[in-house]
């Protein structure tokens, strides 16, 4: 199986019908409904309804799964990427002890609010092993839908979102796998996938782990009944990524186009039922959309919090967001970085960058129908770099670049400016690779 399963329709993911913001919002709604639905079956009086497949009485409150997923969605809408510091502080700010958080997460978020270093707190959990629980996986599906255009970007961003609370490799692998499943489910809106295709695509980018082994086994069990599969893979009973994610992905893959069937199948096997249903609900809704969630289920589910403002999808930044900016005073051409921009990086470029703090030095946005990228220092009102973009069959690529030549900017040599621009594009929109910075510093120092 390749990373790009067969596409009988021939419709690419950049089809105008696909909107990554709407897909992520749909995913959040599906996650919340699944979470709230599953949580009702921790109430003993509702177990007969589960056996008979009758909806439990409403209202259905959601749990920590949804509360944290709301922060993920809001962070992406605001920044277009995962800002680890802002994400974990959003978790801490919105933390409602009564939503069912685990003891370790309750303590971590409380200490973050009190000024603790989240990286150290997360790494120190469980005698320095980090948590391998399912908490990073339960909240991440909207991120996968957001980056459906680029599953590799979805995997990388999912790992960053996980590590703010869950540093164990199995927990990170679980988050990556769920994000990939949501990404491919969203892609399946315009690109046909079978259940086996979906799980094969997830396996392509999930790192070696027991979680990945479980997903590979889940793919082999697609023809079996849910009760047997839950016995083999687990049902989240141990609240670990290992015994939660493979079964949840099996349920989602088997019923990708039928929200209610997917959720009844998942809930029927018990275990950590709010979390398995949250994961499955998010993945399936990434495919079927809000309209694919039964209206009665949505009406029974507690509304999402006001602060998430779910009706506001956000928009790419543009000149209107920076009214004080003026044109470059003295543009001078420089060599162009020889790169092709992957879909995830191009999506982040389209989103734009607005600095929110003094230590954030750069702002950027596209102009002229996406043909020019302007990059500003936040202390200046005119761009330091103007990058011309050409859209090629391989993807967008820089084909021209200019640097400000007028004082007070101290222009460097063409070679140094080109090296700095290549690093800057990667730092703002890519992976911030150290080797690019080191290459620029070698040139800058003359060594």
The 10s digit of each residue's pLDDT in 363-410 is 999 998 889 999 999 888 889 999 999 999 999 999 999 999 998 888
- Reported as type and span, the H/E element at residue 355 is none
Same structural domain for residues 114 and 49?
yes
Give the range of the structural domain holding residue 325, as residue numbers without chain letter: 319-445
Using one digit for the tens of pLDDT, what is the confidence trace for 25-84? 999 999 999 999 999 999 999 999 999 999 999 999 999 999 999 999 999 999 999 999
Assess whether 272 and 332 both reside in one domain: no
User: Is 414 assigned a ligand-binding role in the annotation?
Assistant: no
Tens digits of per-residue pLDDT, 209-248? Answer: 999 999 999 999 999 999 999 999 999 999 999 999 999 9
Q: Clarify whether residues 234 and 193 are in a common domain.
A: yes
DSSP state of 359: T
Tokens of 137: 């996986």
Q: Would the pLDDT of 6 be above 80? A: no
Q: Are residues 40 and 76 in the same domain?
A: yes
The reply to whether 276 sits in an annotated binding site is: no
Residue 13 within a domain:
no
Q: Give the DSSP H/E element, type plus range, for residue 135.
A: helix 135-138
Q: 26: annotated binding-site residue?
A: no
d(CA 33, CA 102): 21
Which pLDDT belongs to residue 17? 59
Pairing of strands 372-377, 385-392: antiparallel
Q: What is the mean pLDDT of the chain?
A: 93
CA distance 424 to 216: 39
pTM: 0.94
pLDDT at residue 4 greater than cutoff 70: no
Looking at 244, 279, 308, the residue that finishes a domain is 308
Distance of CA 269 to the CA centre of its chain: 27
The answer to whether 64 is a known ligand-binding residue is yes
Is 272 a known ligand-binding residue? yes
pLDDT at residue 379, rounded to an integer: 82
Q: Give the CATH number for residue 124.
A: 1.10.4080.10
Q: Are residues 356 and 293 in the same domain?
A: no
CA distance 33 to 285: 10
CB neighbour list of residue 357: distance below 8 Å, 6 or more residues apart: none
**How many structural domains is the chain composed of?**
2
Q: Is 213 labelled as part of a ligand binding site?
A: no
The span from the CA of 140 to the CA of 56, in Å, is 26
């Amino acid at each position: 199986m390749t990373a790009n399963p067969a596409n009988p329709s021939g419709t690419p993911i950049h089809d105008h019908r696909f909107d990554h913001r709407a897909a992520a919002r749909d995913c959040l709604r599906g996650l919340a409904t699944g979470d709230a639905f599953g949580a009702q079956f921790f109430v003993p009086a509702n177990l007969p309804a589960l056996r008979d497949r009758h909806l439990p009485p409403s209202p259905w409150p959601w749990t920590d799964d949804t509360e944290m997923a709301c922060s993920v969605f809001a962070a992406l809408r605001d920044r277009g990427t995962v800002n680890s510091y802002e994400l974990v502080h959003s978790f801490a700010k919105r933390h409602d002890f009564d939503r069912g958080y685990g003891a370790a997460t309750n303590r971590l978020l409380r200490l973050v609010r009190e000024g603790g270093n989240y990286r150290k707190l997360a790494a120190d959990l469980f005698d320095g092993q980090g948590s391998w629980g399912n908490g990073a996986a339960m909240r991440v599906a909207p991120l996968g839908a957001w980056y459906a255009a680029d599953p590799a970007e979805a995997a990388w961003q999912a790992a960053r979102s996980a590590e703010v609370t869950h540093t164990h490799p199995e927990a990170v692998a679980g988050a990556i796998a769920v994000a990939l499943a949501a990404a491919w489910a969203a892609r399946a809106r315009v690109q046909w996938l079978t259940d086996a295709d979906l799980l094969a695509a997830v396996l392509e980018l999930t790192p070696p782990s027991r979680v990945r082994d479980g997903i590979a086994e889940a793919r082999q069990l697609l023809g079996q009944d849910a009760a047997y599969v839950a016995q083999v893979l687990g049902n989240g009973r141990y609240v670990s990524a290992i015994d939660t994610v493979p079964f949840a992905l099996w349920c989602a893959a088997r019923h990708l186009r039928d929200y209610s069937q997917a959720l009844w199948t998942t809930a029927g096997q018990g275990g950590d039922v709010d979390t398995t249903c949250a994961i499955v609900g998010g993945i399936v809704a990434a495919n079927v959309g809000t309209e694919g969630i039964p209206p009665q289920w949505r009406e029974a589910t507690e509304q999402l919090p006001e602060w998430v403002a779910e009706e506001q999808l956000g928009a790419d930044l543009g000149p209107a967001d920076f009214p004080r900016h003026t044109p470059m005073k003295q543009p001078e051409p420089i060599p162009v970085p020889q790169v092709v921009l992957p879909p995830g990086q191009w999506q982040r470029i389209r989103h734009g960058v607005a600095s929110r703090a003094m230590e954030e030095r750069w702002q950027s946005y596209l102009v002229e129908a996406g043909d020019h990228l302007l990059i500003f220092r936040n202390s200046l009102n005119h761009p330091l770099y103007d990058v011309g973009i050409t859209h090629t069959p391989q993807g967008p690529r820089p084909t021209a670049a200019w640097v400000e030549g007028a004082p007070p900017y101290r222009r460097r040599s063409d070679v140094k400016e080109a090296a700095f621009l290549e690093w800057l594009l990667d730092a703002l929109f890519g992976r911030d690779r150290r080797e690019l910075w080191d290459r620029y510093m070698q040139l800058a120092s003359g060594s």
